[in-house]
Amino acid sequence: MQDHLKVALASAIDQHIKSTGMNSAEASKIAGVNPSRMSKIRQSKLAGVSSDALAEMMHRFGFKLNAGYAEGEYQFDFYKY
């Protein structure tokens, strides 16, 4: 589940940044990471990045995570609070 969650979180972060039109510097500042780390996350280069850190970034962007397991696969939904 850990890898699935990390990929889902990184993808959601990237989609949020694209949908809002913010640049990497703005996104990095909000997420509390340096631009190099944000770039790696957006490229799904997640070695050394914990799911907890990614979840915290999503929280800083104003999202909550709903996770579940159904029909043999993990399901992750993100919603704005």
Residue 21's CATH number: 1.10.260.40
Residue span of the structural domain in which 66 resides: 2-80
User: Mean pLDDT per 10-residue run, the chain (81 residues)?
Assistant: 84 95 94 96 94 94 88 84 74
In the chain, the number of structural domains is 1
CB 32 within 8 A of CB 74: no
Phi, psi of 38 (to 5 degrees): -60, -40
Q: Which H helix or E strand runs over 45?
A: none
pTM of the prediction?
0.85
Q: What is the pLDDT of residue 21?
A: 96
